[in-house]
C-alpha cells in the first residue's frame, strides 16, 4: 500500500473536488501520492460507490457550465483513488495504512460528522480490529496507532466540512476525547503539536451523481487553505489557494453564494412555488432575480465596501451570478430549502451583526425583515 492520502467519505463532492484535484496533480507529478478512501456509513449509495471504486479504480467527473463567458462541457477521468475500503470490514487495513504511509488525512463527513458516540471507549485502542463508531473516535484511534509506532512523524489533517475553523474544531474534539479516555500526555502532545490541523474552505457545486460512481460539477472550484507551519499539502492545483486570511474567503462564500441561495429559498417557501424550480429558473424570473440582486447590491456589497474588500466582493459576486445561471446544473431550490431556519441563522444573522459592528451605517431592511420573520430579531 502506498497511498499517502487517506480520505474519509465517498460523497460526490469529494470525488469531484479533492480527489479530482489530486488526480490532475498526479498527472503533472505535483501530488504526494494516491488516495485510499474509506466508507464510514451503511448508506446503499456509498456502498455502491465503494464497490465500483474497488472494481474500476477510475471514475468520470463531468464539468458543465459557464466560465468567464465560455461554455464548458467536458468529462475528466479521475485516477487518484488507489484503494477503496469499508471501515466495518477493512479497519485493520485502514489502521496499517495510517501507520505506514499516510501523510495527509481529508474528510467530508456531513453535518453530523463530528458527533461523538457514547459506545466508543478507550477499550477500542487495545484491539486493532475494533471499529470506532464516530469519526472523531476513528481519527483518534488511527493517530494513536501512528503515535505508538512513529511518534516523531505526525500527519496533516484537512477537514472539508462546512464548519467555521474546521481544523481547530476537529482537533479540539479529538483532544477532549483523548483526555476523557485518560490517554498519555505524550500522545496528547503528539496530537496537538506533531499533527497539523488545517482550517480550510471548500467551494464547488456538485449537483448530481453519475452511477455507480462519478459526479456532475460546475467549472468553478475553490479550496482555500489557511497556512499552517509544517503542513503537508496533498497536491498543487490552480484551484487551491493558500491564505493567511481564510475568514475573508468564508465571508464571501457565506454572504453571497449561501445567503443568495437562502434568499431564493425564503421566497420559494413563502410563495409555495413549484417543487421542480431550480436556481436557474429563479434567475430567469424577473421578480426573483430583481429581489436577490437588490439584496446583493444594497445590503451585502456595502458591508464589504466598509471592510475594504470592494474589488474582491465584486469579482466574487460576478462568479456567483455565472454559477447561478449555469444552464446544466439541476440545483433545485427545494433541496436548498431543507433546514431553512437554521440556514437563515447561520447565513443571514452574522452579516447583519457584522454590519452593526462597523463604523458606517448600513441599512438592511430586507435581511432584517427576514430575520424578524424567522424569530432572530
How would residue 312 be classed by pLDDT, with cut points 50, 70 and 90?
very high
pLDDT at residue number 113: 85
pLDDT of residue 95: 95
What is the distance, to the nearest Å, from the Cα of residue 372 to the centroid of all Cα atoms in its chain? 30
**Cα–Cα distance, 110 to 202 (Å, whole number):** 13
Give this prediction's pTM. Answer: 0.92
DSSP state of 122: G
Mean pLDDT value of segment 177-199: 98
Give, as one character, the DSSP assignment of residue 125.
Answer: G
Residue 100 has pLDDT above 90, yes or no: yes
Within the chain, where are the H helices?
Answer: 12-16, 18-27, 44-56, 87-100, 135-149, 166-180, 185-189, 246-252, 259-270, 279-283, 286-295, 301-306, 310-324, 333-336, 340-347, 349-357, 365-373
232: cell is: 503537508
On whether the 5-243 domain is CATH 3.40.50.720, my answer is yes
Q: What pLDDT score does 110 carry?
A: 74
Say if strands 70-78 and 240-243 run parallel, antiparallel, or are unpaired: unpaired
For 253, the grid coordinates are 462564500
How high is the pLDDT of residue 260?
98
Q: Does residue 57 carry a pLDDT above 90?
A: no
Give the tens place of pLDDT for each residue, 236-266.
999 999 999 999 999 999 999 999 999 999 9
pLDDT of residue 1: 44
Count CB neighbours of 62 within 10 A: 17
Would you say the CATH fold of 246-373 matches that of 5-243? Answer: no
- Percentage above 70 pLDDT, the chain: 99
pLDDT bracket for residue 231 (50, 70, 90) = very high
Tell me the pLDDT band of 89, cut-offs 50, 70 and 90: very high
Q: What HEC string does 226-292 produce?
A: ECCCCCCCCECCCCEEEECCHHHHHHHHHHHHHHHHHHHHHHHHHCCCCCCCEHHHHHCCHHHHHHH
Report yes or no: 282 and 334 within 8 Å, Cβ to Cβ.
no
**What's the maximum distance between 2 C-alpha atoms anywhere in the chain?**
63
Q: What is the pLDDT of residues 195-229, one digit of tens each?
A: 999 999 999 999 889 999 999 999 999 999 999 99
Which of the 8 DSSP states describes residue 130? -
**Average pLDDT, whole number, for the chain?**
95
Say yes or no to pLDDT of 68 above 90: no
What is the Cα 193 distance to its own chain's centre? 24
Domain ranges of the chain: 5-243, 246-373
Q: Report the percent of the chain where pLDDT is more than 90.
A: 90
Q: Model confidence at 111, in pLDDT bands (50, 70, 90)? A: low
Determine contact, residues 333/277, Cβ cutoff 8 Å. yes
CB-based contacts of 115, cutoff 8 Å, min separation 6 = 134
Report, in angstroms and rounded to the nearest whole number, the Rg of the chain calculated over CA atoms: 22
Q: Which CATH number is 246-373 given?
A: 1.10.1040.10
Question: Which has the minimum average pLDDT: 242-256, 267-281, 328-342?
Answer: 328-342
The stretch 137-151 carries a mean pLDDT of 97
pLDDT value at residue 211: 92
Amino acid at each position: 500500500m502506498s497511498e499517502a492520502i487517506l480520505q474519509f467519505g465517498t460523497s460526490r463532492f469529494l470525488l469531484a473536488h479533492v480527489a479530482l484535484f489530486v488526480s490532475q496533480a498526479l498527472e503533472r507529478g505535483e501530488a504526494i501520492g494516491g488516495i485510499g478512501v474509506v466508507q464510514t456509513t451503511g448508506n446503499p449509495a456509498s456502498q455502491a460507490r465503494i464497490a465500483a471504486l474497488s472494481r474500476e479504480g477510475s471514475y468520470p467527473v463531468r464539468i458543465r457550465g459557464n466560465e468567464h463567458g465560455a461554455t464548458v462541457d467536458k468529462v475528466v477521468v479521475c485516477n487518484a483513488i488507489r484503494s477503496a475500503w469499508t471501515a466495518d470490514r477493512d479497519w485493520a487495513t485502514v489502521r496499517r495504512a495510517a501507520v505506514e504511509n499516510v501523510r495527509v488525512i481529508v474528510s467530508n463527513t456531513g453535518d453530523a460528522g463530528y458527533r461523538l458516540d457514547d459506545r466508543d471507549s478507550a477499550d477500542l485502542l487495545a484491539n486493532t480490529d475494533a471499529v470506532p463508531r464516530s469519526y472523531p473516535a476513528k481519527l483518534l484511534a488511527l493517530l494513536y496507532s501512528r503515535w505508538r509506532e512513529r511518534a516523531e512523524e505526525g500527519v496533516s489533517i484537512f477537514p472539508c466540512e462546512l464548519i467555521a475553523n474546521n481544523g481547530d474544531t476537529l482537533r479540539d474534539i479529538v483532544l477532549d476525547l483523548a483526555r476523557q479516555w485518560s490517554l498519555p500526555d505524550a500522545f496528547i502532545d503528539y496530537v496537538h503539536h506533531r499533527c497539523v490541523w488545517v482550517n480550510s474552505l471548500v467551494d464547488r457545486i456538485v449537483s448530481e451523481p453519475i452511477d455507480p460512481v462519478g459526479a456532475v460539477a460546475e467549472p468553478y472550484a475553490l479550496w482555500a487553505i489557511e497556512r499552517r507551519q509544517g503542513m503537508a499539502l496533498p497536491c498543487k492545483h490552480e484551484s487551491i489557494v493558500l491564505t493567511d486570511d481564510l475568514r475573508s474567503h468564508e465571508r464571501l462564500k457565506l454572504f453571497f453564494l449561501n445567503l443568495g441561495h437562502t434568499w431564493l429559498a425564503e421566497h420559494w417557501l413563502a410563495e409555495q412555488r413549484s417543487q421542480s424550480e431550480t436556481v436557474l429558473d429563479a434567475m430567469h424570473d424577473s421578480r426573483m432575480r430583481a429581489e436577490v440582486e437588490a439584496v446583493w447590491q444594497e445590503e451585502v456589497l456595502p458591508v464589504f465596501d466598509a471592510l475594504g474588500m470592494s474589488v474582491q466582493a465584486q469579482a466574487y459576486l460576478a462568479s456567483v451570478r455565472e454559477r447561478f445561471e449555469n444552464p446544466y446544473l439541476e440545483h433545485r431550490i427545494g433541496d436548498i430549502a431543507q433546514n431553512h431556519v437554521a440556514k437563515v441563522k447561520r447565513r443571514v444573522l452574522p452579516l447583519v451583526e457584522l454590519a452593526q459592528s462597523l463604523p458606517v451605517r448600513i441599512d438592511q431592511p430586507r435581511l432584517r425583515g427576514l430575520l424578524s420573520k424567522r424569530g432572530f430579531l
